[in-house]
Every structure is written in structure tokens, then in C-alpha cells.
Chains A and B, each alone.
Chain A
Amino acid sequence: MLSFIVKRLLQVIPLLLVIMTLTFFVMRLAPGNPFASERQLSAVIQQNLNRRFGLDRPIFYLSVQESWTQFDPDGNVEYVNRSIFRPFDPPETRSFALVRWNGFDNQYNSYFFGRYVADDTTKARNWEWGVIGGNFGPSTRFTDARNVTDIILAGLPLSLNLESSPTSSRFASGFRSA
């Protein structure tokens, strides 16, 4: 019985990844975006919001890069980064890289389906773990301090409490509209 439960729990991991990937593509391929409301935003403001939440990047981008150090004509050390394999050309440099070859660069960060592996939207560091590391990125619903992880953590104890009580299972989920 125990091995059955453990096996099932382990099976959840790849399943979740598949669901996340499918959800990502469904959401990104559908028209519109999370900021649409009755109040119509101007194109410029929409574009600024997209950039802030990383929605301006292409959906899929495969790139293998190499980096090395060299001296510039003044004798200063400079880091050079070059994409050596890039079958799909992104419209701008801020985009997803499926594989990162070497990591000295500041311009290129690695993404796997947006922020599922890594995320640089916070700009605090060059590299941050994405969903796999428990970082769900900034919330598009709550545009201030909180990121999605905080919202889940705030709501989870209450949800667990309610879910475990026999009378009620449908109130106040911490995941609601995050």
C-alpha cells in the first residue's frame, strides 16, 4: 500500500509538468491577455504591461549559446555571448532559451515556457528559479507586492483547514484568481 501511494505521488510530478505545459500553451495561444477588462488600455500601456510580466516574449524559443572572455581594444576584459544555434528567430533579445550553453551573459537568460524553469522578471538577479524552484513569478491579478507564491502560502493553511473539515470544501481557496 505504501509503495502504491509513493508511486502515485511520484507520478504526479511528470503529470503536473505536462499539465503546466499544456496550460501554458493554451493560455498563450488564446487571444487577449490577463489585463483585458471593460476599460480598454491603449496600445502603449498594454505593451508596457506585457513587458513587465514577460508576455512580450515569443512563446517558444530554442537557443544554444556560447560565451567567452576576451580583451577589447582598450585592454579591458569583456564577456562575449553568441548564439550558435537558433532555429527560430525571436523579435528581440529578451526571450526564452530552452538550453543555455554557458552563463556569463547579462542579456540572455534561460527560459523554458516563460517562467516555468527560470525567471528574470524581478531583475534582482540574472538567474532565478522558476516554477520548479517554487517561484511562480509576479501575479497579474494582484499587481503590487505579492507574487503568486505568497498568495498561495497565505491562503493554503485556511484552505487545508476547510478542505479537511467534512462540511465544506468549496470556500476560500488560496489559489483563487492568483
Chain B
Amino acid sequence: MTRHFAALAAAVAAALGLQACVTAGAYFGATTPPTDKTLIVANQSEPRSLDPHKTAGVPEANVMLNLYDCLTTYDPQTAEPIPCIATSWEHNADASVWTFHLRPEATWTDGNPLTAEDFVYSWRRIIDPATASPYANLLYYVKNGEALNDGTAEDLATLGVRAVDAHTLEVTMERPTAFFVSMTPHYAFTAVPRQAIEAHGDRWLAPENHVSRGPFRLVKRTPYDRIVIEKWDGHWDAARVQLERVIFLPIEDQNTAVSLYKANEVHVLAGGGQSVPTAFVKALRPKLDFHVEPEYGVYYYSLNVNRPPLDNKLVRRALAMSIDKKAICEKFLGGGQVPAWNWIPPKTPNYPYPTPLQYNPEEARRLLAEAGYPGGQGFPKIEIFFNTLESHRQLAELIQNTWRRELNIPVELNNQEWQVYQRTRETRQFDIARDGWIADYLDPNTFLDLFQAVTLNNHPGWANAKYSKLLDRANSDPDPLRRLSLLAEAEAILLDEMPVIPLYYYASVKLRKPFVEGWGDNPLDQNPLKFVSINEAWTPEAGQAH
């Protein structure tokens, strides 16, 4: 209760006070660059862990990305994998065996050389059920990964990863995986320091015991206060690194983060997702340091294809075509979200997006009549399920009204507590269920894979033999462009069958001081800080001219 009151009070104060202050100037708040090469990042919440195998959160990822180099890292502009520890890589004809060539000069912060054996140790550790890693499932693409993690196989040495020599890592996949390299910048595939873990057990993460090998090293960690990392001069790429120090502050309250940003006590509001309260978005929009970019994630409704009347493709298409998604994004959400008609979010490099349906209520009514419900007559009552959250409710009400108005069909709403809701979705005890998917890697496969087979995350329960075959063919195709066109064919089937209605693509909404340079707005929201710098000579005049 007190919390709600505090939030409300803050929102009112913000709406009255802060918003009024937003008006003047091209930038929001003070813009004097710091002179100590120290970047201060508002990092949402206190990281649960800095062990890459024990966490799955965004605030953790923001820090770990700079402590542990992976085989590859994210291109700050596109999020595509670029060489990091691995200088080059290749795969066999059907992409079932990958070979990575590691940089021989890379070492750990304690001076030990980094070898292929370190990766073998780490990948065995993350897949070990005793580690209980929330991201172990990303390693299921590696041979025997799933069997080892669920306990049906026990010998960790059977995991498909092998050190050919000190600097050559060979990975055998469970099945052909042509997109594997796009997963390798993810911290699930990094290497953890065996020497420190064996010497200190779970205490290896204390700053005095910590061994890493990224461009930065951990120097201070005070829970609920700050994490400080500093440039590590022994890093193989140290010449590139411009920042001396980065401070991550765990600020859960977005209003506080925005106030600190305005006062220049914080230079960047880190992702993912929306880091600025919606109430500010409109006022901040004209500011040059306000950034909105679509993210590689989609908010959608799952339609239970095993229940009438949603088992009828015509009905599913009618429901999808009658929703004005542009109005939802612009008039209702207003936080920079992008209307979703395709299943795959925008900005996938080289992907030939298939043509989706368009908003057309007239055609929707015609399809509904063709399905046997002219003017909505005889259409059974359907329910939209969502987990308890005001924004989910408001959107569901809006869609309920749309379908009543445009199609004249009865729609009920049903909200459930999150844990109950998860069960409802998994057991498919719904007509329509709110859903969302945010990618872990930059490849259409992460979205299309949901419907490869009827698995837990395939909430609509939809399966299609031709679709599955196309995915299999694509993922064993060594030619990247041909592979993407096969995936696009699969997406076209999905859009035709419409077991899911994509509603909007998530947006990353951020404030970033104009003197912070080298920060790309890529769809995965991943920004290695070795590419980031502070321009001490920056002035508002220079910024305007720019």
C-alpha cells in the first residue's frame, strides 16, 4: 500500500514538476562532460550474481559483458557477432561441427593463458544439473547438452565440445545449427576461471578473489549501492578502451533514475526495455539525448488452435486483421513501440521479410462470414487471459472493444496471478493468452523455433509439418542468404496460419548524455563498453552542429 502510494506520489510530482522542467533546451538536464573518464550507468536493479552460469537477468548481463570476453562479441551497431576471443571460425558442410580459432595472446587477469580447455570446463559446468544454470538451455544446441542437463546422461565429458589444441575449440552440435555463431556473444557461452573457482569455491566472485579476462575488471561491489569496474591494462584489446572506470548503480525506481540523469549524476540509463516512465516519454521525445529503438522482441497473443472457434484459420486471420496496431502503438502505448505485423522483429540483417497481413476490418468481417459467423452471429464466447498487470489489462480491454465493435463477437477478460497464469498457458487452458518473446541472439530462428514442435513454450499448440521441415532445412544450410530465405518461407506459413497475433515490437527507451560516444542502438540492446568513450571536449554548440 505504502509502495503504491509512494509510486503514485512520485508520478504526480513528476508529472507536475519534472515535466514542466523538461521544456527548455535541446537536451534534458546538465550536459557537462566529466573529466575523469568515468561513466556512470543506472543499471535498474542489484545484480543477482556475477557468475555467468547463475543468472539470466539484464542488469547482470550489462556488467558481465565487460568482465568476461566471449568467443565473439556484439557489433555495437547491429548486434551481429564480431571476433573477440575467437579470431575466426568455420563449420563443416551441414553446420553440425564448428571450429573456433582462439586468440593466443588472451590471458586471465591473474596472468594464466586463456585456452580452449577453459571453454570446455565452462561449458561442462553450465550444463551440469548441479550448477542449476537458468541459461543452460542455450547449450542444448550442443551435442548431448539437453540429455546431460535433464539427467538422462551423466558423463559431462560426452558434451560436444573439445579442445583440439590450446587455441582451437571444436563444437559438435546436436543437429545442424547454421546460426550457432550468432549465439556465441552470449555470456552463457563464455569461459569462467577454473583456477579461481577451484581455489575459492563459491567465493570466487568476491572482488579480492575475482579472476576475469574482459577489457574491465571488478574492483568494488557493495550490494544495493554500486559495482565499480576499471580498465584492465593487460587485456589484449586494451589499446581500444577509452574509459578508465565504469560505475553501475542499482536504481530500481525509474523516477529516481531520471532525476539523477537530469542532474548529470548518471550518464546512461541502461536497458533493457523501457528505462523511462511512460509519463515522461511525450515530453522527452524532442530531446536529442532521448533514444527510442525497436528491440528484438515481440508482444503477442497466442491463439489456442485446438479449441473451436480458433481452430479455424479464417477466424484467426479475421481476429488479427481487425486490430489497428498502429493506433495501439501511437495512441495507447506511446512509448516508441512499433506495430507488429510480421513475426520476426525488424532489423534482422539480410532477412527477406515476407509480406504480412494488413489492417483491414472490412476483409476481417468477410473472413468471419466465410468461416460461418456472418456479422458475428453464432460466434461462441472467447476469453483473453493475461497476467495481472495494469498495462496488460488496458490493452486487453482495448482489443475486447475492437473485436466487439468490428466483428460483433462476445469477448471476456480473465486475469490471473503470474504463477497461476504460467500454468494456464503451459497446459493450454485458454482461448487467447497474452505472450511475449525477447530474443537471446540475433537470428530469426529464436522466434521461429518456438513452433518447431509442440513444446512447453509453443503456447498455441500449433504444429505444421512443412514449417518444421523448412526450419530443419534452413538450419543445415551453409549458405547464409539461402538459409534466411528458407526461414522467411517458414515465417510466411506462420503468418498465413496465424496461430499467434503479433501486436507490437518492444522498444528500448533510453536517455544517454550526448558526450557518451560509441554507444550503438542495436536491436539486442547490447553495448560492449570497450567501444564507448566520453568526449570531454563536447559542448552543446558542437552537438547542435553535429
**Is B54 in contact with A144, judged by CB distance below 8 angstroms?**
yes
**Is A51 in contact with B223, judged by CB distance below 8 angstroms?**
no
**Is A151 in contact with B223, judged by CB distance below 8 angstroms?**
yes
Report if A35-B129 is in contact (Cβ < 8 Å); known contacts: A42-B456, A145-B202: no
The interface bits of chain A over 54-76 (1 if a CB of B lies within 8 angstroms of the residue's CB, else 0) are: 00000000000000000000000
Would you list 28 pairs from A and B whose C-beta atoms are within 8 A, ordered by A residue?
A31-B419, A31-B420, A32-B422, A33-B419, A42-B456, A43-B456, A44-B136, A44-B137, A44-B146, A44-B149, A45-B133, A45-B137, A48-B129, A48-B149, A51-B132, A142-B49, A142-B223, A143-B48, A143-B55, A144-B48, A144-B50, A144-B51, A144-B55, A146-B223, A151-B223, A155-B223, A155-B224, A177-B46
B35-43, B203-211, B538-546: which lies at the interface: B203-211
Secondary structure of the B contact surface, majority rule:
loop
The interface bits of chain A over 34-54 (1 if a CB of B lies within 8 angstroms of the residue's CB, else 0) are: 011011111111001101110
Shortest Cβ distance from A173 into B: residue:
B224
The interface bits of chain A over 149-170 (1 if a CB of B lies within 8 angstroms of the residue's CB, else 0) are: 0010011000000000000000
**Is A51 in contact with B420, judged by CB distance below 8 angstroms?**
no
Shortest Cβ distance from A154 into B: residue:
B223
The interface bits of chain A over 113-154 (1 if a CB of B lies within 8 angstroms of the residue's CB, else 0) are: 000000000000000000000000000011111100001001
CB contacts (< 8 Å) of B205 on chain A: these are 144-145
**How many B residues touch the partner, as a band?**
35 or more
Q: Assess whether A172 is interfacial by the CB under 8 Å rule.
A: yes
Report if A42-B137 is in contact (Cβ < 8 Å); known contacts: A48-B129, A143-B48: yes
Shortest Cβ distance from B387 into A: residue:
A38
B449 CB, min distance to chain A CBs, angstroms: 13
Q: Assess whether A7 is interfacial by the CB under 8 Å rule.
A: no
The one of A36, A42, A154, A177 in contact with B419, judged by C-beta atoms closer than 8 angstroms, is: A36
Q: Assess whether B113 is interfacial by the CB under 8 Å rule.
A: no
CB contacts (< 8 Å) of A146 on chain B: these are 223
**Interface positions of A (Cβ within 8 A of B):** 31-33, 35-36, 38-45, 48-49, 51-53, 141-146, 151, 154-155, 172, 176-177
**Is B419 in contact with A142, judged by CB distance below 8 angstroms?**
no
Report if A143-B49 is in contact (Cβ < 8 Å); known contacts: A45-B137, A49-B134: yes
**Is A172 in contact with B136, judged by CB distance below 8 angstroms?**
no
B180 CB, min distance to chain A CBs, angstroms: 20
**Interface positions of B (Cβ within 8 A of A):** 46, 48-51, 54-56, 129-134, 136-137, 146, 149-150, 202-206, 223-224, 417-420, 422-423, 436, 456-457
With A41-B134, A144-B55, A155-B223 given, can you name 15 additional A-B contacts, CB distance below 8 Å? Answer: A32-B422, A33-B419, A38-B436, A39-B134, A44-B149, A45-B133, A45-B134, A48-B149, A143-B48, A144-B202, A145-B202, A145-B203, A151-B223, A154-B223, A172-B224
B126 CB, min distance to chain A CBs, angstroms: 11
**Is B223 in contact with A48, judged by CB distance below 8 angstroms?**
no
The one of B136, B150, B203, B224 in contact with A176, judged by C-beta atoms closer than 8 angstroms, is: B224
A86 CB, min distance to chain B CBs, angstroms: 25
A143 to B57, CA, bound (A): 12
Report if A36-B418 is in contact (Cβ < 8 Å); known contacts: A42-B456, A43-B456, A45-B132: yes
CB contacts (< 8 Å) of B132 on chain A: these are 45, 48-49, 51-53
**Is A145 in contact with B134, judged by CB distance below 8 angstroms?**
no
B196 CB, min distance to chain A CBs, angstroms: 11
CB contacts (< 8 Å) of B137 on chain A: these are 42, 44-45
CB contacts (< 8 Å) of B436 on chain A: these are 38
A50 CB, min distance to chain B CBs, angstroms: 8
A163 CB, min distance to chain B CBs, angstroms: 16
Pairs of residues from A and B, 5 with the lowest C-beta to C-beta distance, nearest first: A32-B419, A144-B49, A52-B132, A48-B132, A44-B150
CB contacts (< 8 Å) of B423 on chain A: these are 31
CB contacts (< 8 Å) of A45 on chain B: these are 132-134, 136-137, 149
Shortest Cβ distance from A123 into B: residue:
B130
A41 to B55, CA, bound (A): 12
CB contacts (< 8 Å) of A51 on chain B: these are 129, 132
CB contacts (< 8 Å) of A31 on chain B: these are 417, 419-420, 423
CB contacts (< 8 Å) of B131 on chain A: these are 48, 52
**Is B224 in contact with A48, judged by CB distance below 8 angstroms?**
no
Report if A143-B422 is in contact (Cβ < 8 Å); known contacts: A45-B149, A52-B132: no
A36 to B425, CA, bound (A): 14
A141 to B224, CA, bound (A): 13
Shortest Cβ distance from B273 into A: residue:
A38
A155 to B41, CA, bound (A): 23
**Is A32 in contact with B134, judged by CB distance below 8 angstroms?**
no
A177 to B205, CA, bound (A): 20
CB contacts (< 8 Å) of B54 on chain A: these are 143-144
CB contacts (< 8 Å) of A52 on chain B: these are 130-132
A159 CB, min distance to chain B CBs, angstroms: 11
The one of B51, B130, B149, B418 in contact with A143, judged by C-beta atoms closer than 8 angstroms, is: B51
**Is A32 in contact with B418, judged by CB distance below 8 angstroms?**
yes
Shortest Cβ distance from B457 into A: residue:
A40
CB contacts (< 8 Å) of A142 on chain B: these are 46, 48-49, 223
B63 CB, min distance to chain A CBs, angstroms: 12
B97 CB, min distance to chain A CBs, angstroms: 25
CB contacts (< 8 Å) of B224 on chain A: these are 155, 172, 176
Shortest Cβ distance from A122 into B: residue:
B202
A176 to B137, CA, bound (A): 30
B272 CB, min distance to chain A CBs, angstroms: 11
A45 to B205, CA, bound (A): 23
CB contacts (< 8 Å) of A43 on chain B: these are 456
B262 CB, min distance to chain A CBs, angstroms: 22
CB contacts (< 8 Å) of A35 on chain B: these are 134
Shortest Cβ distance from A177 into B: residue:
B46
B171 CB, min distance to chain A CBs, angstroms: 21
A146 to B112, CA, bound (A): 26
A85 to B51, CA, bound (A): 43
Shortest Cβ distance from A171 into B: residue:
B224
Shortest Cβ distance from B222 into A: residue:
A154
A49 to B422, CA, bound (A): 17
CB contacts (< 8 Å) of B202 on chain A: these are 144-145
**Is A48 in contact with B136, judged by CB distance below 8 angstroms?**
yes
A60 to B54, CA, bound (A): 29
**Is A141 in contact with B48, judged by CB distance below 8 angstroms?**
yes
**Is A40 in contact with B50, judged by CB distance below 8 angstroms?**
no
B86 CB, min distance to chain A CBs, angstroms: 27
Shortest Cβ distance from B135 into A: residue:
A45
A31 CB, min distance to chain B CBs, angstroms: 5
A49 to B137, CA, bound (A): 13
A155 to B134, CA, bound (A): 27
